[in-house]
Amino acid sequence: MKKLLEITLGIVTSIGGFLEVGSLATSAQAGAAFGYQLIWAIVLGTICLIFLVEMSGRLAAVSKQPLAGAMRDRFGYPFFLIPLVAMSLLGVLVLASELGGLSLALQLVTGASFPWWAPLGAFAAWLLLWKGTFSIIEKGASLFGLITLVFVVAAFRLHPDWTRAAAGALPSMPRHEPMRYWFIAVSIMGASIAPYLLYFYSAGAVEDKWNETDVPVNRITATFGMSFGGALSVAVLVVAALVLVPRGIRIERFDQIALILTPIMGRSGFFLFAAALGIACFGAMLEIALSVAYLVSQGFGWKWTEDARPRDVARFSLVYTATLIGGAIIVIVGVDPLAITLMSMALTSALLPIAIVPFLILMNDPHFVGQHRNGWISNTVVCAIVGLAFVLAVVSIPLELMGS
Amino acid sequence: MGVRNINVELLLDKEVKDSEGRSAGRIEEIRARRDGEGIIVEAYHLGPQALLERLAAPVMRLSLMRVLGLHRHSHSLRVPWDQLDLSDPERPVLRCPREELVKLAR
Amino acid sequence: MEIAVVRDLLDKQLIDRDGEALGRADGVVMAYSADAPPRIMYFELGAQTLARRLPRPFQGVLAWLGHRLSPRGSSPYRLEVSRIIQLGRTIKIDIDGTRSAARETERWVRDHIIGRIPGS
């Protein structure tokens, strides 16, 4: 019975925490530009994420080491610097895009000008990290994040042609604008397969003192939680497809995404969208700042835990503070938030091998995971999908940059 | 000659020449044993490319090395502590020809 | 008991008597003499130790950073290997971490930056 409760909570936290500005923006863009055609990118990204999240949990439970620490143990220094620097910088970029999303949400609700909200939002996130504990943050963000289910409600209300949607789950060639198609596909995959999630998840598992008995439960929560989460992204895509395509609206600016719930839900749809966006982004900001702090602190062997007073984990606290400041600066300077979001998602895909290849090696090393090594399915699926994301990214990012 | 302190991490990947001046590999591991409160070095392991060892999993390493044409050296060489001269830590030298070293399977 | 220095000692997490993090073994120092087996003597911690492991061109930046951020200046911190209580996924050292010089940078950041912010 207790296990059932654990599983349910795990799944619910995964759903609530799934959507953030990256998945929202990329799914909405995909729906508006290509209808159901890009659902396969969400499916592939989600499948890969399920495997990766399950692996993070398994690593933490069996080796009692979080991912970043295990990487330094296994690969040593200076090799470890490569994922450290790449993922930290990427983290700051993605955090900036989340902060941009949060700022937009606040702007939608209050009508006040855009760059004002960034420092406030960053400060609010910082305050919660400064004062909160890991449990409160993880569960709070995820439970509030359940508001994103509004997209599922909206999708059903629109009575989509589910057979046509299902057809979109199979990869197909674009009928128009191929460069844009592949770029969005790459961004969708980068939005789903976010490395920061893995550092956060494995650190959380260690904070919660998982052990080998938690491995089967983790498998279930990862599979169902991430699947339902992926379904949320699909819901956003479907809503965008059905609302924006007939109106001929292409998403060129961030605030156009806000329109997607209004036709179905009227004025409350507008506020629901703002609330969903704001909460999802805020939760993501907390996770990303913590992930970078975990990555750096574990890599250098500093004390790290969200459950202590900041003065007891001084360097750890300094890192998440610096990450939030870095993200805030990028937004305050006035970089276009939609552009940052799409580019950081695509960059994530391009940099995935740096994060994932060492991870896969770890998961096959009996010295770390004992008998709980990866089976050939996990290895093959992850390699294939990450490889695909990487190749697509390397090809489409330069083309997109040249085209715009 | 007295005792000098050597940072082990700086020895890794240094190329080791044997007594005839030929390349014998690079230091990739140091085997030691715990003896009361001390840790005493027993042997060094030389491999073709220490960096590759740390990066690649056993399965991948062999195939990767075959691809790179390094499989001819796919055995580690075990060097007993007294056969390695570290008076110049930048240029470790074996006191014997490399043929005398025991090959270890990877 | 058999130990592989690179696999079991180098880069591993060091913890104190109470299980709190001390840092990572950024370096391992061995005492070498020509006529006796070398002995592993110390763990070495610090930015200078890390800087030396980088390829030549990169050493400058990290060493400079370490020098600026470290209150004790140039010399790296050493922990005797004889103080090991337990060898495993982490290495437990018989030391009181709260006073140890290994945590100097942590204390410095606490006193000069984090501690100055209210609510810490």
3-state secondary structure of A59: helix
What pLDDT is attached to residue C73? 56
Q: Does C21 touch chain B (CB under 8 A)?
A: no
What pLDDT is attached to residue A125? 95
Confidence of residue B66 (pLDDT cuts 50, 70, 90): very low
Architecture of domain B8-104: Roll (2.30)
Q: Could C37 and B81 be called an inter-chain contact, meaning their C-beta atoms sit closer than 8 Å? A: yes
Largest CA distance in chain B: 45
The CA–CA distances, whole Å, from A125 to A99, A287, A289, A292 equal 10, 10, 9, 14
What distance in Å separates the CA atoms of residue A205 and residue A198, rounded to the nearest whole number?
10
Residue A137, both tokens: 């943050």
What pLDDT is attached to residue A276? 93
Which chains share 3+ C-beta pairs under 8 angstroms with B? A, C
- A50 exposure class (CB count in 10 Å sphere: 0-12, 13-18, 19+): buried
What distance in Å separates the CA atoms of residue A104 and residue A338, rounded to the nearest whole number?
10
What pLDDT is attached to residue A17? 83
What pLDDT is attached to residue A218? 92
Q: Could C14 and A367 be called an inter-chain contact, meaning their C-beta atoms sit closer than 8 Å? A: no
Query: How confident is the prediction for chain C on average, in pLDDT?
Result: 86
Top pLDDT among B48 and C14 is at C14
Q: Could A361 and B54 be called an inter-chain contact, meaning their C-beta atoms sit closer than 8 Å? A: no
What pLDDT is attached to residue B2? 79
In this complex, the residue of A72, A78, A303 whose CB is nearest that of residue C53 is A78
What pLDDT is attached to residue A91? 96
DSSP A97-155: HHHHHHHHHHHHHH---GGGHHHHHHHHHHHHHHH--HHHHHHHHHHHHGGGGHHHHHH
Going by DSSP bridges, is the β-strand pair B38-47/B23-35 parallel, antiparallel, or unpaired?
antiparallel
What pLDDT is attached to residue A262? 85
Whole-model pTM: value is: 0.91
CATH 1.20.1740.10 fits A2-403, yes or no: yes
Sign of CA dihedral A145, A92, A386, A205: negative
Residue A263, both tokens: 């036709």
Going by DSSP bridges, is the β-strand pair C21-24/C13-15 parallel, antiparallel, or unpaired?
antiparallel
The CA–CA distances, whole Å, from A39 to A44, A72, A236, A400 equal 9, 37, 11, 21
Q: Could C50 and A77 be called an inter-chain contact, meaning their C-beta atoms sit closer than 8 Å? A: yes
What distance in Å separates the CA atoms of residue B10 and residue C30, rounded to the nearest whole number?
11
What distance in Å separates the CA atoms of residue A111 and residue A270, rounded to the nearest whole number?
12
Architecture of domain C5-116: Roll (2.30)
Q: Residue ranges of chain A with pLDDT lower than 50?
A: none
Going from N- to C-terminal start, the domains of chain A cover 2-403
What distance in Å separates the CA atoms of residue A127 and residue A104, rounded to the nearest whole number?
20
Rounded to the nearest angstrom, the minimum Cα separation between C117 and chain B is: 39
Q: Cβ neighbours of residue A318 under 8 Å, at least 6 residues apart?
A: C109, C113, C114
In the predicted structure, residue B72 carries a pLDDT above the cut 50: no
User: pLDDT, tens digit, for every residue of A58-89?
Assistant: 999 999 999 999 999 998 888 889 999 999 99
User: pLDDT, tens digit, for every residue of A370-392?
Assistant: 889 888 899 999 999 999 989 98
Vertex A30, ends A24 and A33: CA angle to 5°? 135
**If phi over 0 gives left and psi between -120 and 50 gives alpha, with beta otherwise, what is residue A171?**
beta
With a CB-CB cutoff of 8 Å, which residues 91-120 of chain C face chain B?
A: none
Q: Does A82 touch chain C (CB under 8 A)?
A: no
With a CB-CB cutoff of 8 Å, which residues 57-86 of chain C face chain B?
A: 81-82
Vertex C65, ends C61 and C69: CA angle to 5°? 175
Going from N- to C-terminal start, the domains of chain C cover 5-116
Going from N- to C-terminal start, the domains of chain B cover 8-104
Which ranges of A246-375 would DSSP assign to H, the alpha helix?
262-300, 314-332, 337-363, 366-369
What distance in Å separates the CA atoms of residue A399 and residue A126, rounded to the nearest whole number?
37
Q: Could C53 and B31 be called an inter-chain contact, meaning their C-beta atoms sit closer than 8 Å? A: no
* Other beta carbons within 10 Å of A270: 17
3-state secondary structure of A92: helix
ipTM value for the complex: 0.91
What distance in Å separates the CA atoms of residue C48 and residue C53, rounded to the nearest whole number?
9
Partnered with residue B34 across adjacent β-strands are B39
